[in-house]
């Protein structure tokens, strides 16, 4: 039962980080548009958030898959 709760929690966290990632991509598209340059004070923080979100998504996906495999084995 605890494992199922961990899987649900990991899935929820994965979903929220995925939405955060998509939002930052959309914000960057709006910010940059067809411009050839943009202020680094606005762009760099967005890329930092993107990188952090991507790493979190990658780690959570691996964690989620491992827990799901274990859950299916135990089931």
> How high is the pLDDT of residue 39?
84
The predicted pLDDT at position 72 comes to 86
Cα–Cα separations (whole angstroms), residue 22 to 9, 17, 29, 51, 52: 20, 9, 11, 12, 13
Domain range 2-74, CATH architecture: Up-down Bundle (1.20)
| pTM higher than the cut 0.85 | no
**What tens-digit pLDDT sequence spans the chain (75 residues)?**
687 788 788 788 888 888 989 999 998 888 888 787 888 888 899 899 899 989 988 988 888 888 888 888 988
Domain ranges of the chain: 2-74
- What's the burial of 61, exposed, middle or buried (CB within 10 Å: 0-12/13-18/19+)? middle
43: number of CA atoms within 13 Å, CB side? 11
- Alpha-carbon span 69 to 52, nearest angstrom: 26
């Amino acid at each position: 039962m605890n494992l199922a709760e961990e899987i649900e929690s990991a899935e929820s966290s994965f979903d929220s980080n995925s939405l955060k990632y998509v939002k930052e991509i959309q914000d960057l598209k709006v910010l940059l548009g067809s411009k050839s340059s943009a202020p680094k004070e606005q762009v760099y923080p967005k890329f930092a958030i993107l990188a952090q979100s991507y790493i979190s998504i990658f780690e959570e996906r691996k964690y989620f898959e491992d827990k799901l495999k274990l859950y299916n084995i135990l089931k």
